[in-house]
Amino acid sequence: MARWLRAVRNILPAAEHLTLMQLRDHVPLMVEQIAAALASDRPAPTERLAEGSKPHGEVRFHQAYSVDELLIEYHLLRCIILEEVAAHLGRVLTTAESVAINVDLDTAQRSGVLTFVEHLTGQLKASDDLQSNYISYLNHDLRGGMNGIMLMVEVLKRQLSVEPRFAEAVEDLDAMRRSVLDSVTTMDRFVFAHRLGRRQQQARYSAVNVKSLVHETVQSLSHVAMERHVEFAVEVSENCAVESDRDLLRLILQNLLGNTIKHARREGGHVKFCAEPQSSGGCLFTIGDDGPGIGESQLDHLYISSSSSGKGTQKFKLGLPVSKMAADLVGATLAVESVVGKGTVVRLAVPDHGVKK
């Protein structure tokens, strides 16, 4: 036991700051149960060993250990037991003896790790349930409040627009409306990310009017482009048609176009949005900008959800990760090419599924 404690403290510095009293109590008991299991030809001692090793995993979970650290502790225990047994016997262990000891150690390790993982799973489930409740609140209660605000803003705008002296107030209402729309868009990203991550979102295929979809996407983000003084160039082929999930495509394109506008060159930047048929069927959407571009080291992390803090706020980067999950759901391919100093091009290749009845 003394050897094991020293080894743990040497290899795992975190153990210096944790209470080892509980482990001092039950690790010797675990070793005794291993001996009892080896000495018996019945299953009961081995079953008691599996139960007796659970406290190790439970203690380490509550002490904020990781599974890796727990496995290291068992590895150290394994090495020390094998060495002590060999030293006591005064000879090298036979294969049968080594297998027998390792089987019991594996039983103890598996039980301890499973207990640790069960506690961790319970914690994750509680966190996931809390997140689900929050997403439900976003999708229903908060969205209802936002819709109420939008309605009141629209009513006020109509009442004030007839009086020239309220022109400035009408502009403020427009800004408020855009802010609410941006918030709703962000909420949609959270909701879709949650549904996609839990595989609750299903694709519903139907004929998509590509020209209407592109126009709607551009219109929804025109205010963002105006604020950043970014100009659009839109090209849609007349014979571009596809059967896919329109809502998911709209979400993907809004995310991609919004992200492109934000990273385009400010004051005179250009964004090109094209849709054309693919030779293999379906439609290819291409969105490019003339912004600063993205370095190679960052391209590999574009589809990973992340957050960044600044000035007391936290900004969540969900656009591309959500777009990638939605694209996978409809069988589309999403590719990003970028040259630092010249700009970025995003291509979304959408297959033609045909109407599924």
- DSSP letter string over 210-276? HHHHHHHHHHHTHHHHHHTTEEEEEEE-TT--EEE-HHHHHHHHHHHHHHHHHHSPTTTEEEEEEEE
Give yes or no for residue 202 having a pLDDT over 90: no
For residue 261, the number of C-alpha atoms closer than 13 Å in the C-beta half-sphere is 25
238-275 confidence digits (pLDDT tens): 888 899 999 889 989 988 898 888 877 767 788 999 99
Q: Which of 168, 236, 208, 152 minimizes the C-alpha distance to 330?
A: 208
Q: Residue 288 pairs with which residues in a beta bridge?
A: 272, 345
Judge whether 161 lies within some domain: no
Q: Which residues have a Cβ under 8 Å from the Cβ of 27 and sit 6 or more positions away?
A: 1, 4, 56, 77
Question: Mean pLDDT throughout 219-229?
Answer: 83
What is the dihedral angle through the alpha carbons of 151, 157, 158, 159, rounded to the nearest 10 degrees? Answer: 110
Residue 254 resides in a domain: yes
- Whether 10 is covered by a domain: the verdict is yes
Average pLDDT over residues 6-21: 71
- Give yes or no: residues 115 and 210 share one domain: no
Q: Supply the pLDDT for residue 310.
A: 45
Residue 268 region by backbone torsions, left for phi larger than 0, else alpha for psi between -120 and 50, else beta: left
Confidence (pTM): 0.56
pLDDT of residue 45: 81
Residue 315 reports pLDDT greater than 50? no
Q: Residue 314 — very low, low, confident or very high, per pLDDT cuts 50/70/90?
A: very low
266 within a domain of the structure (yes/no)? yes
**Residues of the chain with pLDDT > 70: what percent?**
86
In this structure, the answer to whether residues 210 and 344 fall within a common structural domain is: yes
- Rounded to whole angstroms, the Cα distance separating 260 from 262 reads 5
* Res 348: pLDDT: 94
pLDDT of residue 55: 82
Of the residues 86, 101, 126, the one at which a domain ends: 126
Residue 31 lies in a domain: yes
346 and 216 in a common domain: yes
Q: Are residues 106 and 227 in the same domain?
A: no
User: Does residue 120 share a domain with residue 24?
Assistant: yes
Q: To the nearest whole number, what is the mean pLDDT of the chain?
A: 81
Please say which residue of 93, 126, 159 terminates a domain: 126
Those residues with Cβ within 8 angstroms of residue 356's Cβ, 6 or more apart along the chain or in another chain: 205
Residues 218 and 118 in one domain: no
173 lies in a domain?
no
Last residue of a domain, which of 84, 110, 126? 126
Say if 150 falls within a structural domain. no
Please indicate, yes or no, whether residues 217 and 342 belong to a single structural domain of this protein.
Answer: yes
CATH number of the domain at 252, please. 3.30.565.10
Residues 344 and 226 in one domain: yes
Rg (CA), the chain: 30
336 shares its domain with 215: yes
Residue 316 lies in a domain: yes
Both 98 and 217 in a single domain?
A: no
Q: What is the pLDDT of residues 298-308, one digit of tens each?
A: 766 666 554 44
Q: Are residues 119 and 224 in the same domain?
A: no
* Confidence at residue 60, expressed as pLDDT on a 0 to 100 scale: 82
Sign of CA dihedral 319, 322, 325, 330: negative
**Pair (217, 330) in one structural domain:** yes
At residue 304, the pLDDT reads 55
Q: Which residue range forms the structural domain that includes residue 239?
A: 206-350
Our count of domains for the chain comes to 2
User: For 20-72, how does the pLDDT look when each residue is reduced to its tens digit (9 = 90+)?
Assistant: 666 666 778 788 888 888 888 888 887 887 887 888 888 888 777 888 888 99
